[in-house]
Amino acid sequence: MIYYFDKNVIQGISNSNEFKGWLLSRRWFGDKSALSNLAFDVSLQYFEIIAERIFLTIIEVETPNYSKTYFLPLIYYGKIEAILDSSEKTHSNIVNLTENTFSKKLALTIENEQKVITLNLLEAEFCLFFWKKLLFDANISEKFPSLDLKLTLYNKQFEDEVNMRKVQNLIEAGLYPDRYEFSINQLGKGNTTNVLFSLNVSNKRAPEQKPISYVLKSYKDYSTSLEPSTLFVLVMNNFPNSPKIYGTIKVRDKETIGIIESVPNIGNLGDIFWTELNNMIDTEFKGIDSDYSKFNEKSNISQLIKEKCVETIEVSSEIGKFINNLHKSLILPSQIEYNLETVDSSTYLKIYTEKLNLMITELLSHMTDQPERAFFNLPKISSILIDIKDIIERFRSEFEEQKITIQPVHQDLHMEQILYNKVDNQYNFYFIDFEGDPQLSLEEKKGKFPIEKDLASFLRAFSYIKFNTLLRFIEKNIIRKDKYEVPEEILYNLYFRRAARPLKKILDILLNVLNIWESKLIGKILKNLKADYILITYFYIERALHELNYEILFRPNMIIIPILGLKEIIDKR
């Protein structure tokens, strides 16, 4: 049946409003706000039927002034059970896949007879059937050259027996798939730009052995990816705190699939900070009318944090050393893309200042184009962006070093990009997702930066945790049920409208507690790092501006968080 759905049929379907709407609902599909009117064209840049039910496609999304390309393998089904392995036939999984299916009725001529059928399409990565065919079916892998596909397994880069065995296991499973059992689990709770799965491979002939797990990563943005080469550099430098890259699949010489080490972890670093902080607030601040005057003393706040945020303090004292080692391991002098450079600070900061000022100008222009009733059109919001321009110029004039060292960095280092494990009371951290700053073009991603770019990105996470904790407390304890109120408005009033400030003094006390919490942890992290305060602030501002742009496009109610981050910088000056 699948062969009746040739490229022309799928091309026609791709430009239907139903399919465009389905694309907009995908987590990985970018520029949702700009494309929400569906006034864009979709073209198939690559289309191959690689197995029964599987379309391997690359689509290009275009408007007169815009173009972006995505890797989009699709799987067709009549009844969903037909594409699922026995391990996948759970009620929750079937419901999830059905809800994420694109469906359209088509009239096709089949064997000289007109028939109306329902075409059901699903992102192929969500089905084990796709991975088994792509990775472990010799009949398909033999056709790879003719399909402009290339599978590379890095079995020669590993000197240790453990990782060598993991690569060999993949090779053997590809040669003798009947001897192995496979299962997949989605990672990241579906909240990742790229699609991530854990693949478990078990040897039927050795049931006593534990399955070997791998992370399968589908790079949805079809462009040259930095991650495989960066992970390879980390392997060459024997860096133990990032996953190894075992293999890739390229379509037309661009990585579309990464086969990566599955590292042991309990969760991401942000879970520790968020959980302990909110437990502390919930247990200590139960009644909004209670007497909290003891927290007017900084020593009492410090003692509270010490008692309630034990794990948070411990990991904050440790993570700086790991970040420092990461930066050292991203340097490979023999490769020009990964070596150290020094640049003239005056020229570098002049160019960066111009870049930040342009971002601010574009943000102000975009914000004034929105309806006047929009929250971010308030004069006090615009004035913050204008003041930030002055702060940036002041920082530039205060920087005294004549040279700045630049190098390859992570570029998007936030807490969810750091996994952690704990064995015998010892923490271990793993840095993941080396794809560069998602706000940058490919050429910019290939560039080098001061290490302060990573530190600023990491420290911005504290602002989000702090203000989200405050918003959570306001919603639970301050919001009046008999009036239409939103936590973000109350938080805005707390900072900007003295006359409309909440009467409950607890918010002032709570904010002071959160500020001391943030300051204490930042101090512990930076203690183990040689970093320049001015450069950190430069990149901190850049990160907050990117966040503001993102929130305006996707979550307008949340722009208060990056706005307050910028306001705090102004207030400190």
- On whether the CB atoms of residues 429 and 269 are closer than 8 A, the answer is yes
Place of tokens 């990056």: 562
How far apart CA 467 and CA 479 sit, in angstroms, is 16
> Which pLDDT belongs to residue 484?
72
Q: Which residues contact 233 (CB under 8 A, 6 or more apart)?
A: 329, 330, 332, 335, 338, 408
Asked whether the predicted pLDDT for residue 373 surpasses 60, the reply is no
Lookup result for tokens 């989000």: 464
Neighbours of 531 (CB within 10 A): 19
In sequence order, what are the residues at sequence separation of 6 or more whose Cβ sits closer than 8 angstroms to the Cβ of residue 482? Answer: none
Other Cβ atoms within 10 Å of 281 Cβ, number: 21
The C-alpha R_g of the chain, in whole angstroms, comes to 26
Residue 3 confidence (pLDDT) above 70: no
Length of the chain: 573
Q: Over 60: is that where the pLDDT of 371 sits?
A: no
Average pLDDT over residues 88-104: 93
Q: How many CA atoms lie within 13 A of 460 on its CB side?
A: 30
Give the range among 26-35, 44-53, 262-271, 272-281 with minimum mean pLDDT: 26-35
| pLDDT value at 473 more than 60 | yes
Phi, psi dihedral angles at 555 (to 5 degrees) = -140, 70
Mean pLDDT for 349-374 is 81
pTM of the model: 0.86
Tell me what pLDDT residue 375 has: 60
pLDDT tens digits along 418-431: 999 998 889 999 99
Helix then strand then coil, in percent of the chain rounded to 5, is: 50, 20, 30
Residue 372 is predicted with a pLDDT of: 55
User: Is the pLDDT confidence value at 131 over 60?
Assistant: yes
For 154-212, write each residue's pLDDT tens digit: 876 777 788 888 888 888 998 899 999 999 998 876 667 788 999 999 999 888 888 99
SS3 letters for 251-316? ECCEEEEEEEECCCCCEEHHHHHHHHHHHHHHHHCCCCCCCCHHHHCHHHHHHHHHHHCHHHHHHH
The predicted structure's pLDDT at residue 155: 72
Max Cα-Cα span within the chain: 85
How far apart are the C-alpha atoms of 183 and 200, rounded to whole Å? 5
**Mean pLDDT taken over the chain:** 89
In 3-state terms, what secondary structure has residue 459? helix
Q: Averaged over 122-133, what is the pLDDT?
A: 94
What is the DSSP secondary-structure string of 18-63?
HHHHHHHTSTT---HHHHTT---EEEEEEEEEEETTEEEEEEEEEE
Percent of the chain with pLDDT over 90: 62
Q: Which residues pair with 54 in a beta bridge?
A: 51, 75
Q: Distance between CA 153 and CA 248 in Å, rounded? A: 7
Mean pLDDT of 354-370: 84
Tell me what pLDDT residue 34 has: 77
CB 120 within 8 A of CB 55: no
What is the token pair recorded at 325? 């080692």
Place of tokens 């060999």: 168
Sign of CA dihedral 69, 70, 71, 74: negative
pLDDT on residue 559: 87
Give the CA distances from residue 248 to residues 126, 149, 245, 409, in Å, rounded to whole numbers and listed in that order.
Answer: 18, 10, 8, 22
Do the Cβ atoms of 368 and 552 come closer than 8 Å?
Answer: no
Average pLDDT over residues 375-385: 77
